[in-house]
Amino acid sequence: MMRSARGQTFLLLFASGAMLPMALAPFNFWPIAIPCIAVLFYKLQHQTVKQALVKAGVFGFAMFFAGVSWVYISIHEHGFIPAPLALLTTALFCLFLALLFALPFALSALIPQHSTSWLLGLPAVWVLSEWFRSWMFTGFPWLYAGYIHTDTWLNGWAPIGGVMWLSFITALAAATLAQLGQSLLKGKASGERQPIPATLKLSLLIIITVTVSGRLLQTVSWTQETGKNLSVVLIQPNTDQNKKWSPSERQNIFTQLQQQSEPYWGADLIVWPEAAVPAIPQSVSEFLVGIDNRAKVNQTALLTGIPTKDWQSGKYYNSVLALGAASGQYDKTRLVPFGEYVPFEAVLRGLIRFFNLPMSSFSLGASDQSLLTIAGEPLATAICYEIVYPNLVARISREATMLLTVSNDAWFGDSFAPQQHMQMARMRAIEVAKPMLRGTNNGVTAIVDHRGSIEQQLDQFSTGELRGNVLPRAGKTFFARTGSWPVVIMALLICSVLIIRRHLKERLGKQI
């Protein structure tokens, strides 16, 4: 009987974790996140540290296996790994992420085991779980609960507290639902109607107040227009990923980029996506000099993704290079494990083809790079994966008047990844209240305003050019100044106070 109940608990946790990604892009059924998290919170009550870790791990594995199993496409189709081994590798990757997700939930067994503590403590632990996996082993800040509010009233709070504050409010709603469910079950068991505890009423009032005030905060102008109106063109070449790095295809790629850009010389800015030029500048100097001269004649700034090499150090970088009416270079500072560098390279490199993917030998760019400038407007640049780091974008955006992110999500085919990536990029625009240009190889290429709304976008898996205008904005939101630290510190303090309180109470109880 006990084994049956345990199996049902694990099945419920697995189902809840697997359904959580439906709250995020591309499904965007955001309300489902609250009952999913509520199930986890309900099952974490009165647990030992080991039990809490196992239950959070089951939930986390299902969440990642449902939400980020698109890594299978990279491993199988582009890493040329047989399907069974690719599936096993994907499962191990999700298991590793589940471990990182679960570890902070050990704290849930250390806080006082009663309703009031769970209402505050469990949302705080959820935030610490998201924060922990944002930096541990370089981080994987994917599937944050706060992203479900990219298009709800609560996004009005993003310029103040960022996505982790939205995660805390989401988890608070889940904790409240879990406690309401427990109260109803007690009433059903006793046969008497149970009054709603005062703490739950207060929690409900806080959630309603925060939601309504979020709608009001959406009307606040955190930044101001600079008065410029820049014409921009985003080139989406839709280059076949399996041919991109073939030397025999290089000239065809260059010809296509030139043809797509030709009608738009004279625009303030033309953007080619991440690694649009599949060779280091020294190898294709003639092509780049020609483009640079053409852009200068037309007073157009052209930014292109390109791998670069520092000949003095011998290091390679994933970069954005400025040509024409702009100059400078930005080198990526957050690299994708296995995609852009191989951990334990001496052991793994050459073991299987997946560890020899193109562009998998990059070095980290400097953290204090100068901003690129377009028509006198400073531009904060994030390459692909970097845009999912809230604190990174907050820091580099402070003196910028607009954001640029270039990406190549062709590695993930027709999966959830590009839409999830786009949703996170939109949240960055909301957090710092500045417009964003997103140029990609095959989608989602878009122009996003300072409130995170998509003004224009191209269809995925198509070849095209997105022409539009961007209105740069100066100023700093509260989140741009502080990042996620106020929310993280709040979560740490909540857990610390609750744990100390329980320890003192137990110690005093023993003395009495």
Same domain, 451 and 502: no
Instruction: Check whether 345 has a pLDDT greater than 60.
Output: no
What pLDDT was estimated at residue 348? 47
Give the pLDDT mean for 97-101: 97
Same domain, 322 and 434: yes
Instruction: Indicate whether 56 belongs to any domain.
Output: yes
What pLDDT was estimated at residue 19? 98
The CA-based dihedral angle spanning residues 387, 390, 394, 396, taken in that order and rounded to the nearest 10 degrees:
-40
Q: What is the pTM of this model?
A: 0.94
What span, in angstroms and rounded, lies between the C-alpha atoms of 77 and 365? 29
Instruction: Check whether 438 has a pLDDT greater than 90.
Output: yes
Could you give the C-alpha distances from 262 to 1, 235, 257, in angstroms and in order?
Answer: 72, 11, 9
Per-residue pLDDT reduced to its tens digit, 358-395:
555 789 999 999 999 999 999 999 999 999 999 999 99
CB 238 within 8 A of CB 462: yes
At 189, the pLDDT band (50, 70, 90 cuts) reads low
Report how many domains make up the chain: 2
To the nearest 5 percent, what fractions of the chain are helix, strand and coil? 55, 15, 30
Same domain, 53 and 155: yes
**Residue 447 is part of a domain; what is its CATH number?**
3.60.110.10
Which is catalytic among the residues 130, 384, 386, 476?
384
Nearest to 446 by CA among 407, 489, 398, 397: 407
Q: Is 332 a catalytic residue?
A: yes
Same domain, 161 and 275: no
Q: Is 384 a catalytic residue?
A: yes
What span, in angstroms and rounded, lies between the C-alpha atoms of 457 and 27? 18
At 41, the pLDDT band (50, 70, 90 cuts) reads very high
Instruction: Check whether 167 has a pLDDT greater than 50.
Output: yes
Which is catalytic among the residues 130, 274, 340, 431?
274
Same domain, 211 and 273: no
Which is catalytic among the residues 332, 431, 434, 495?
332
Give the pLDDT mean for 403-422: 94
Number of Cα atoms under 13 Å in the Cβ half of residue 251: 1
Q: Domain range for residue 123? A: 2-219+485-511
Per-residue pLDDT reduced to its tens digit, 250-309:
999 999 999 999 999 999 999 999 999 999 999 999 999 999 999 999 999 999 999 999
What span, in angstroms and rounded, lies between the C-alpha atoms of 387 and 32? 26
What span, in angstroms and rounded, lies between the C-alpha atoms of 123 and 168? 5
Instruction: Indicate whether 335 belongs to any domain.
Output: no
Same domain, 171 and 310: no
Give the pLDDT mean for 399-416: 94
What pLDDT was estimated at residue 81? 87
Instruction: Indicate whether 351 belongs to any domain.
Output: no
Q: Which residues of 296-322 are buried (b: 16+ CB within 10 A; e: fewer)?
A: eeeebbbbbbbbbbeeeeeebbbbbbb
Same domain, 325 and 451: yes
Residues whose CB falls within 8 Å of the CB of residue 421, separated by 6 or more in sequence, listed in order: 387, 388, 407, 409, 444
- Over pLDDT 90: what percentage of the chain? 81
Give the pLDDT mean for 401-429: 95
Q: Is 345 a catalytic residue?
A: no
Could you give the C-alpha distances from 214 to 50, 211, 300, 428, 437, in angstroms and in order?
Answer: 38, 5, 40, 17, 25
